[in-house]
Amino acid sequence: MSAHETSIGPISGQKSSKAGGAQSKCVAHLKGQCSLPGDKSISHRALMLGALAVGRTHITGLLEGEDVHATAAALSAMGVGIRRESPGQWVVDGVGVGALQTPDNILDMGNSGTSTRLLMGLVASQPIRCFFTGDGSLRKRPMNRVIAPLSQMGAVIESRGDGRLPLLITGSDSPMPIDYTLPVASAQVKSAILLAALNTPGTSVVREPKATRDHSERMLKAMGAQITVEESGTGETGRIIRITGEAELSPVDISVPGDISSAAFPLVAAAIRPGSQIRLKGVGINPLRAGILTALEQMGAPVTIENRREEGGEPVADLVMTGPERLKAVTLDPAIAPLMIDEFPVLFVAAACAQGSSRFTGLEELRVKESDRIAAMAAALSACGVAVEEVPDGLIVHGTGSPPLGGATITTHLDHRIAMSALVLGCASDRPVSIDDAAPITTSFPDFMPLMNALGTEITLL
């Protein structure tokens, strides 16, 4: 092993300890260009499908946040060879479909719901046992939406009475194919079923009433899985995915694009400061992920898309934001929610600075993320002088049309997106905005503060 190589050992057990708070101050504008960390969703899937391929997968641009490290450590504990060769450059020596091993220890997934739900799918159709737990935030998140279909495929899953972590999953040695209609739009549930189907005889079918991010389907197809996707015919965005099991996946070189969910933070920060101009290089613009671009355009802050290309089967481009003189309120079509569900907290910040009242609905999923993101952002905005109205499936934000008051310390609830959204709000507030805990940011965007400060923000640790 070279001096740059690092093997992944068992996960340490807990998320990083509290690092203290942080504070953001108002700035005149943002200027400059940068590259973003790798897409978190694609990074998880690259490691997992690389683990199931026969041979060596090379990954470039892997996100090196705590969530992705949790996935790598869990796969390593199941017998997969994974190593980091240099920053962002990783190698996975796959063991093949059906060849994972029972880990010796409990798998602590930290704060990562994606890791947990997708790995449950991997385990469900293999004759192994895994015990999953996580931090306080993850243990509150619902797992029944994954438990239900995986149980139908033959997995035995024991959890707390309300279907939450910790849980023990025993995979089936004779899994059964499934024809399953998703009760909610969830790429995690869809992907868990597809991963379980890889080691299941016959053809499994997933029907989604609304299309969700399709990174799993794209990567599975690139690695040789027999998978088809078609429009359902029952709605504008519904789809039917069919996958044939007992697959053999071939390794491929995977280039992970910049994460559009991470891009949302500098994009909004520039949009709320007139005169800003930033360029974000090499960002994934998968149409099933790019709702934030549509939303910002409707608010009067269109993103210019340049240098379009395709990398690793994913559409990629450079994004340019020029801060407008004024943002306008918007009533966003609920149909866009699955295309940008993770970006809503920071979009609420844009709405807080806009002229007029914005209405966002169809966001029930935000209630069961790392925190109740509707309630958390309502409290954050209210504390900073922005009038809001909470509704069961969303938020009405009465924009100030001018810099919000600020001056509050925001409770992050162990939620990285609440933490970063609050710091973006501080970039345009009359008074500094603080957060109680900056540690959650490392789960998805370890370089958030230096990257944002390089563009002109003033974010400091307390």
Q: Which of 108, 342, 372, 415 is catalytic?
A: 342
Tokens describing residue 151: 């149980």
If you ran DSSP here, which 8-state letter would residue 258 be given?
B
User: What pLDDT does residue 236 have?
Assistant: 58
Report the DSSP beta bridge partners of residue 356: 399
Strand ranges inside 144-259, DSSP E = 156-159, 167-170, 179-181, 203-208, 227-231, 239-244, 254-255
Residue 458 has a CB neighbour count (10 Å cut-off) of: 14
Q: Which of 289, 324, 288 is nearest to 304 (CA)?
A: 324
Q: What is the tally of helices (H) and strands (E) in the chain?
A: 12, 25
User: What pLDDT does residue 316 have?
Assistant: 97
Contact predicate 171/200, CB 8 Å: no
Contact predicate 420/445, CB 8 Å: yes
Token pair 């794209």: residue: 218
User: What pLDDT does residue 17 have?
Assistant: 41
User: What pLDDT does residue 428 have?
Assistant: 97
User: Which residue ranges make up the annotated binding site for 3-phosphoshikimate?
Assistant: 40-41, 45, 186, 188, 342, 369
Please return the burial class of 253, using the count of CB atoms within 10 Å of its CB with bins 0-12, 13-18 and 19+. Answer: exposed
**Preceding omega of 166 cis (within 30 degrees of 0):** yes
Residues in the chain: 462
User: What pLDDT does residue 15 have?
Assistant: 40
Strands 89-95 and 54-60: antiparallel
Residues with Cβ < 8 Å from 333, sequence gap 6 or more?
none
User: What pLDDT does residue 3 have?
Assistant: 32
If you ran DSSP here, which 8-state letter would residue 184 be given?
S
User: What pLDDT does residue 161 have?
Assistant: 78
Q: How far, CA to CA in Å, does 340 sit from each of 210, 275, 347?
A: 13, 26, 10
Tokens describing residue 449: 């503060």
Strands 277-284 and 31-35: parallel
User: Which residue ranges make up the annotated binding site for phosphoenolpyruvate?
Assistant: 40, 113, 141, 188, 373, 417
User: What pLDDT does residue 9 have?
Assistant: 39
Q: What is the dihedral of CA 304, 306, 310, 312, to 10 degrees?
A: -80
Tokens describing residue 229: 């996707």
Does 173 qualify as catalytic in the annotation? no
Q: How far, CA to CA in Å, does 437 sit from each of 56, 266, 282, 296?
A: 39, 20, 30, 28
User: Which residue ranges make up the annotated binding site?
Assistant: 40-41, 45, 113, 141, 186, 188, 342, 369, 373, 417
User: What pLDDT does residue 369 have?
Assistant: 92
Q: What stretches in the chain show pLDDT beneath 50?
A: 1-18
Token pair 């025993």: residue: 170
C-alpha 400/C-alpha 385 separation (Å) is 9
Domains, the chain, in order of start with CATH, read 7-39+257-461 (3.65.10.10), 40-254 (3.65.10.10)
User: What pLDDT does residue 109 have?
Assistant: 97
Q: Which of 409, 448, 441 is nearest to 263 (CA)?
A: 448
Q: Which of 331, 328, 372 is nearest to 350 (CA)?
A: 328
Contact predicate 44/292, CB 8 Å: no
C-alpha 321/C-alpha 454 separation (Å) is 16
Output the 3-class SS for 50-68: HHHEEEEEEEECCCCCHHH
